[in-house]
Amino acid sequence: MSQEINRRSFLRDTLLASAGGAMAVGAAAEASAAAAGRAPVVAAKKQPAAVIASPQAAPPAGPQTLPMGKIGKLQVSRILLGGNLLTHYTHSRDLKYVYNLCAHYNTEEKILETLALAEQNGINTVSMHNPPVPMKILYKYRKQGGKIQWIICPTAEADASMEAYTNQVRELVDNGCEAIYVWGVRSDQLLGAGKPELIGKCVEIAKDHGVPSGVGCHNLKVVEECERLKIPADFYIKTFHHHKYPSGPKPEQLTKPYNENPGYWCQNPEATIEVMKKVEKPWMAFKIMAAGAIPPENALTYAFGNGADHILLGMFDFEIAEDVGLANKVLAAVKRERPWRS
């Protein structure tokens, strides 16, 4: 089944599953799944680490693997599981119902299944910010035996005292977080306020706690300023996608910040390519599909081919096996000017 049909049919099948759930439970639900030729959904509370078969994509025949790179001492898969769909922070342009739909689909049980499926397919790291409920799910998954690594951005304010930020970093590291980075929203704000030195303080706090420390951003000037000031970040997480998609920005929109335009997150991809060529630290690219507007293979080819070392990919459970397969295909054939930095 084609990827386009898979993703369209997700909405249809999710609604059908919800209707069916209202009409039948227990054995009736299993019978319905069997009649449709699908494996019945098993409650995550009974089998918390189980990978649940979805109607859109059969589980892979065997475990998949991915090439790795190094962030500090961490071995990190070239594809990371992006966290926005897990935290329900979807970018859906003017389709506001998608937020609610994602929240109803990605329940705690489904998130546990998604993490397990990511590991089965060679993704060894998840990256997200730290809202309380999704973090509790990560803690639960690890207690149940999950091994996926965490690269987390604290959302606490970064001010002169740095007290709140330090407390969040300490809590994350104490609970097993393997790497920390400055939230892109926060670093953009600090640069805009003329306080890039606070970005440096955030980086130092994480390093003082003994974990790799990075900087996330949407604004390319954050990377440029960090490099100019020699802020000792171990890696960058920067938005990156081309503008060749139907809802891509028009020339007049590109004079405005990304957050004033619902259709793009990387204002100047060509400039990003040129700046990152000179950066000798690992670069993780995110928003490579412009929040779902660019097909995965196209986006992966563009991002890896133009210098990204790792990619954060937001995926529902039924997309993971296919997207990892596409990533391996792209990585096997990629030609790039920027050396691998991890």
Q: What is the pLDDT of residues 209-226, one digit of tens each?
A: 999 999 999 999 999 999
Q: Which residue has the higher pLDDT, 126 or 250?
A: 126
The answer to whether 41 and 35 have CB atoms below 8 angstroms apart is no
Q: Are residues 125 and 9 in the same domain?
A: no
How far apart CA 222 and CA 308 sit, in angstroms, is: 17
Is residue 339 situated within a structural domain? no
Exposed/middle/buried for 204, CB within 10 Å: 0-12, 13-18, 19+? Answer: middle
pLDDT band, very low/low/confident/very high, at 237 (cuts 50, 70, 90)? very high
What range does the domain containing 123 cover? 68-333
pLDDT at 96: 80
User: Is 51 part of any domain?
Assistant: no
Dist CA 9 CA 55 (whole Å):
9
- How many structural domains comprise the chain? 2
Q: Does residue 55 sit within a domain? A: no
Q: What are the start-end ranges of the H helices in 97-236?
A: 97-105, 108-120, 132-143, 163-174, 184-192, 196-208, 220-228
Kindly give the residue spans of alpha helices, DSSP state H, lying in 24-107: 27-35, 97-105
Report the greatest alpha carbon distance in the chain. 64
Give, for 127, the enclosing helix (H) or strand (E).
Answer: strand 125-129
Let me know whether 78 and 13 are in one domain.
Answer: no
Look at residues 68, 83, 91 and name the one whose alpha carbon lies nearest to residue 114.
Answer: 83
pLDDT tens by residue, 90-123: 777 778 888 888 889 999 999 999 999 999 999 9
* Segment 42-51 mean pLDDT: 39
Q: What would the pLDDT profile of 54-68 be if each residue is shown by its tens digit?
A: 334 444 445 899 999
Closest CA to 265 of 152, 185, 182: 185
Structure confidence at residue 182 as a pLDDT band (50, 70, 90): very high
Q: Which of 301, 294, 290 is nearest to 92 (CA)?
A: 290
User: Quick one: pLDDT band at residue 87, thresholds 50, 70, 90?
Assistant: confident
Task: Report the C-alpha gap between 214 and 152 in whole angstroms.
Answer: 10
42 belongs to a structural domain: no
Distance CA 318, CA 115 (A): 12
Q: Which CATH number belongs to the domain containing residue 88 in this structure?
A: 3.20.20.100
13 and 92 belong to one structural domain: no
pLDDT at 4: 44
Cα–Cα distances in Å, from 66 out to 16, 296, 331? 34, 16, 9
Q: Each residue of 265-299: pLDDT tens digit? A: 999 999 999 999 999 999 999 999 998 899 999 99
Integer Cα distance of 193 and 187 in angstroms: 10
Tokens of 278: 């000179």
14 found inside a domain = yes
